[in-house]
Amino acid sequence: MKYLEEFRDPELAQKLFAEIDQLATQKWVMMEVCGGQTHSIIRNGIDQLLTDKIELIHGPGCPVCVTPLGVIDKGLAIAARPNVIFCSFGDMLRVPGSKKDLFRVKSEGGDVRIVYSPLDAIKIARENPDKEVVFFGIGFETTAPANAMAVFLAKQQNLKNFSMLVSHVLVPPAIEAILQSPSNRVQAFLAAGHVCSVMGYWQYQPLAETYKVPIVVTGFEPLDVLEGIRRTVAQLENGRSSVENAYPRAVTEKGNAAAQKMLSDVFAVTDRQWRGIGLIPRSGWELSEAYREFDAAVRFDVGHIETKESALCRSGEVLQGLIKPNECAAFGEECTPRNPLGATMVSSEGACAAYYQYGRFISVENVAVTD
């Protein structure tokens, strides 16, 4: 408990807010990459308590949110097949596809199971040799090592009835895509601490140097976020653009070498579609040639499925930081957690879900101040 209290010290928070206010002499726009950071910011009102010289833009760092609609529909098609046990983390079950979600498939008779690890799916495959067991492998670099280990074990154990529907995405190419966009406003990034705990932060230095943007590796507690913002503002005010680690208790420059070795063996870098954003070159992983036999998209021949996004949903603009969730006309009306139009309202890390959960129905900019 003492450990947690240290990262919720109100006196230290007040000091950090004051330091940020003193440092900032002009308007700065920065993006927190991770959805977990977004929820920490909105839940604790950090964006509202900061000086108005700092604008926080919510980035695309929610794995559920950026999983393409086409991949969701492929998963739904596989899960609906007889003789298939479809395994997924719970946060994917209510993510809408074109016409339904995994809960609907389950209610219609599909064998859809929530698991807490891809290794649970391996166990299910061993216990059900007469069934095809498919794991829905999505996420950023954080969840990828465990998914890679599951595929590695399936090959080692000769589990012919196990496969994985893979939709892994990578953070550095997404940051570069945002910086290259003609509509980009982001001047600095708070990098996702849990991603960097796996991959390190050595990959970010070329981005900082090329695009002249500070990148600060940041944790998730309120004081972690404030310290990341403080360091970022200090760099911006001093005209520096380097990579800093404000999360040393969990992150090192080189990251987890054993995990990276497993990833390089099981996965190969590929172009990847991001929901609401589009194609980003070399921004994802697919199963490497040595493990291609475990690719569920190939095994079940669902590569031909094409989809169309909802015309009402503006989650793509939210994911790119172009609008805040409550600036979408459907927010809180046609789109709610009960009836979501897009994944950003469903996911526990989605920006729209954060705004809805913590009552951000009106933009601060639109509130009239009266005496």
Q: pLDDT > 90: what percent of the chain?
A: 78
For residues 117 and 165, give the distance between their C-alpha atoms in angstroms, rounded to a whole number: 15
Tens digits of per-residue pLDDT, 104-153?
Answer: 999 999 999 999 999 999 999 999 999 999 999 999 999 999 999 999 99
Average pLDDT, integer, range 278-307:
91
Higher-confidence residue of 4 and 203: namely 203
Give the type of residue at 153.
Answer: L
For residues 233 and 22, give the distance between their C-alpha atoms in angstroms, rounded to a whole number: 10
Q: Which domains does the chain have, with CATH numbers?
A: 2-13+26-64+171-245 (3.40.50.11750), 65-168+255-299 (3.40.50.11740)
Lowest mean pLDDT among 224-233, 259-268, 359-368: 359-368
Q: What is the pLDDT of residue 305?
A: 67
Q: What is the pLDDT of residue 157?
A: 97
Residue pair 235/213 in contact by the 8 Å Cβ criterion:
no
Tokens standing for residue 96? 């809408």
pLDDT band at 172 (very low <50, low <70, confident <90, very high): very high
Residue pair 345/30 in contact by the 8 Å Cβ criterion:
no
Sign of CA dihedral 347, 348, 349, 352: positive
What would you report as the CA-atom Rg of the chain, rounded to the nearest whole angstrom?
21
Tens digits of per-residue pLDDT, 244-269?
Answer: 999 999 999 999 999 999 999 999 99
For 185, other C-beta atoms within 10 Å of its C-beta total: 13
Tokens standing for residue 283? 């921004």
Tens digits of per-residue pLDDT, 58-69?
Answer: 988 888 888 988
Q: What is the β-pairing status of strands 267-274 and 278-287?
A: antiparallel
Q: Is the pLDDT reported for residue 371 higher than 60?
A: no
For the whole model, what pTM was predicted? 0.91
Phi and psi at 343, nearest 5°, equal: -70, -25
In Å, the largest CA–CA distance within the chain is 73
Lowest mean pLDDT among 161-170, 171-180, 317-326: 317-326
For residues 319 and 84, give the distance between their C-alpha atoms in angstroms, rounded to a whole number: 33
Q: Which residue has the tokens 């509202």?
A: 48
